[in-house]
Amino acid sequence: MLYTVVRILVIAIGCTLSGVRAMHMLQEERYQMPQLRRELRRHRDLLTWTNISIAAGATVVNWYMPVVFSLFMQQAAMRETLCSWLTLALFAGATVFAWFQKRRIPLKKEFNLSQRMSRLLGVTFALNLLGTTILHMLTLSPYLMFAASDYVVVGAAFIISPIENRINARYYRAARHKLLEHKGLIRIGVSGSYGKTETKLILKSILAEKYNVLVTPPSFSSAMGASRVINERLTKKHEVFIAELGAQKKGEVREIARIIRPKYGIVTCVGPAHLDSFGSLEAVAQAQYELIQCLPKSGEAFFGADGGFGDRLYGLCPMEKYRAALGDVEDCYMRAEHVETGVRGTRMELICADGERAWMQTRLLGDYAARNIALAAAVARRMGMSMDEIKTGVEKILPIHGHLQLVPGEINHIDDSLNTLPEGAAEALRVLSEFPGRRIVVTAGLTELESGAADANYQLGLQIASCADYAFLIGPEQTRQVLRGINKGESIPGSSIRVVREPEDALALLREVAEPDDSVLYEGINPEEYAEE
C-alpha cells in the first residue's frame, strides 16, 4: 500500500515537473492557447518524443526487470519489491534528466511563479494525480501518464480559463476606475510590430524632462500587464502614463486600448512579427491599427515611416496625424537626418516640420533607433516640449539590455542577444559594419523562426560575409544554412570561419583571436560571460 501511494505521488509530481517548460511557454505567450499548441508542435522532437521515450522505457523496465532479476533472486516478494522501488528511482532520475533537456529550449523571459501560474501548477498536478490513479486502477502502467505531461498543461489551462477570465475582468474594471479618477493624466499607447519597447523608453526619457512619467515594464504589454501597472503603481503624482500594446491575435490591442483610453497613439511600424499567428501582413496591420481606432476625436496619431503597411495606415488615418522618418521623406513632421553610428553611439540631426532642428547624441545604435527617437520626439514636440528639452532627454537614454546594446572597452561588444528576427539581425550587422577594427560575429543563427527559417539563416550568412572578418557559429546543425550563406559570399577566409558546439568553445576562440579595438557582435547569443572577460 505504501509503495502504491508513493508511486502515484512520484509519477504525478514527475509529470507536473515535466510540464513546467510548457507552462513557461504559455506564460511567455501571454497565456494564448493557440500559441502554446504551436510551440509544442514546433519543439515536439525535444518535448513529445522525450516524454514518450521515458514513459515507454519506464513501462518496459517495470514489466521486464522482475524477469531479469528472477535469474538470480529466488524470493518472489523481495524481487518484486526491489524491482518496483528501483524502477521508480530510475523514473525519478529520468524525470530530472527530461527537465534539464527541456531547459535547452530558448525562452526570452524568466519563469515567474505568479498567482495565475500557481493556480495552473496546482490544477496540472491534480490532473496528473487523477490520471495516474485511473491508470493504476485499470491495472495499466501509471508511467504511461508521463507521455502526455505537456498536453496535460493544455487541459489544465483550458479548465481554469473561465476562472482566469473572471479574475482578469475584475483587474480591468479596477484599472479603468482608477484612470477615470485621475482626471489630468496624459495617456499614450504604443503599438507596432517592432520597436515598441525602445520607442516607449525613449519617449519616457524625453518626457521626464518636463513630466512625471509612468511606463509599463517591457514584459507588461498585455491587458493584464497594463492593468497591474495601473492598479499597483499609478499615483496622483504621475502626469503621463505610457503603455505598450502587444498583439498576438486580432482584438488584443483593442482590448488594452479600451482600458487605458489613450489620447496619443503611436504605431512604430508594421512587419512580419507574429505572422504565423495573424496569417498575413494585412491582418498584422489591422491589429496594430486598432490602437488608432480607439483614440478619441481630439486624439493624435503618430506613425513611423516604414515604406510599407505603416505608411498605408498613415494615409488611411482620418484624424489628426503625424509621421516620423529616417532621412528626407516627404510629409513628415519629424525627421532624423545625417545619422552616424560608431563606438560612442549614434549622432543625428532632428528636424521638425515647424522649422526647429537640433543635433544630438545617443548611446543607442543604428538607423532603427534613430527613427524611433524621431517618432518619440514628434510626440514630445506636439506635447509642447522644446528641441533643447528633447535633446537633453535623448542624451540620457540608456540602451536596452540585449538589443544592440553597446558594451565599450578594449574590445567593442555589441549585445544583440535578445533579437530573434531577421530584420533586427540585418540592422545589427549593418551597425557592425560601421565599427572599427576587425569585426567578429558570434551567433547560433535565427533559431526561433517557425517558417522560412532556412532562407532567413542563409540570408543571415550572406550578410555576415559582407561585413565580418570572423564568424563563430554555435551548433553545427542549426547554423548549417548560415554557414552555406557565408561560404557563398566568399569574402571570409575559411580559416576565419569556425563552427563549434557550445558557447564556451566560442569564448575560447575569442580569447585567441580578439585584439584591442576589435568589434564583436553577439547575435542571438548571451554574451555576459564574454563581457566578464
Environment class of residue 171 by beta-carbon count within 10 Å: exposed (0-12), middle (13-18) or buried (19+)?
A: middle
Going by pLDDT thresholds of 50, 70 and 90, the confidence category of residue 71 is low
Cα Rg of the chain, angstroms: 27
Same domain, 138 and 217: no
**136 and 244 inside one domain:** no
Look at residue 237 and tell me whether its pLDDT is greater than 90: yes
Q: Are residues 197 and 302 in the same domain?
A: yes
CATH number at residue 447: 3.90.190.20
Residues 360 and 409 reside in one and the same domain: no
Same domain, 372 and 423: no
Q: How many CB atoms within 10 Å of residue 85?
A: 13
User: Rounded CA gap, 217 and 234, in Å?
Assistant: 13
**Closest CA relative to residue 62, chosen from 151, 139, 150:** 139
**Cα–chain-centroid distance for residue 455?**
22
Distances (CA, A) of 494 to 465, 470, 486, 501: 11, 9, 10, 18
What percentage of residues in the chain have a pLDDT greater than 90?
A: 59
CA distance 153 to 144: 16
pTM here? 0.83
| Mean of pLDDT values over 504-520 | 88
Question: What is the number of domains present in the chain?
Answer: 3
Q: Is position 175 within any domain?
A: no
- The answer to whether residues 265 and 413 belong to one domain is no
CATH number of residue 214's parent domain:
3.40.1190.10
- SS in 3 state form for 394-447? HHCCCCCCCCCEEECCCCEEEEECCCCCHHHHHHHHHHHHCCCCCEEEEECCCC
Q: What per-residue confidence (pLDDT) applies to 274? A: 67
Residue 361 confidence (pLDDT) above 70: yes
The domain boundary, picked from 102, 135, 164, lies at 164
Q: Which three cell numbers stand for residue 318?
A: 482620418
Beta carbons of 256 and 243 less than 8 angstroms apart: yes
H or E, element range at 303: strand 300-304
Q: What is the DSSP string of 452-518?
A: SHHHHHHHHHHHHHHH-SEEEEE-TTTTHHHHHHHHHH--S-GGGEEEESSHHHHHHHHHHH--TT-
pLDDT for residue 528: 64
| Residue in the block written with cell 496546482 | 122
Domain boundaries, position 187: 182-395
Q: Give residue-wise pLDDT tens across range 481-498.
A: 999 999 988 788 888 999
- Asked if residue 170 belongs to a domain, the reply is no
Note whether residue 171 is domain-resident.
no
pLDDT at 533: 41
Residue carrying C-alpha cell 516620423 = 324
Same domain, 295 and 222: yes
The grid coordinates of residue 333 equal 513632421
φ and ψ of 74, to 5 deg: -85, -30
Exposed e or buried b per residue across 359-379, where buried means at least 16 C-beta atoms within 10 angstroms of its C-beta: ebebbbbbbbbbbbbbbbbbb
Residue 330 pLDDT exceeds 90: no
Provide the β-strand partners of residue 414: 406, 521
Same domain, 215 and 338: yes
Domain's final residue, options 368, 395, 422: 395
Which phi and psi angles does 476 have, rounded to 5°?
Answer: -55, -40
Question: For the segment 117-163, what is each residue's pLDDT rounded down to a tens digit?
Answer: 999 999 999 999 999 999 999 988 999 999 999 999 999 999 999 99
CA 348 to chain CA mean position, Å: 29
State the average pLDDT over residues 64-70. Answer: 75
Q: Does one domain contain both 347 and 420?
A: no
Domain boundary among the residues 395, 424, 459 is at 395
Alpha-helical runs (H) found in 234-365: 252-260, 275-278, 281-293, 309-316
Same domain, 509 and 390: no
Measured over the CA atoms of residue 27, residue 29, residue 35 and residue 39, the dihedral's sign is negative
Predicted pLDDT at 335: 95
Is there a domain that residue 55 lies in?
Answer: yes
pLDDT, position 530: 42
Same domain, 475 and 413: yes
Co-location of 357 and 247 in the same domain: yes
β-partners of residue 472 are 442, 498
Rounded to 5°, angle at Cα 473 from 467 and 476? 140
- Whether 332 is in a domain gets the answer yes
**479 residue type, one letter:** T
Q: Would you say residue 75 lies in a domain?
A: yes
Q: For residue 197, is it within any domain?
A: yes
Q: Is residue 176 part of a domain?
A: no
Average pLDDT, the chain: 89
pLDDT value of residue 275: 63
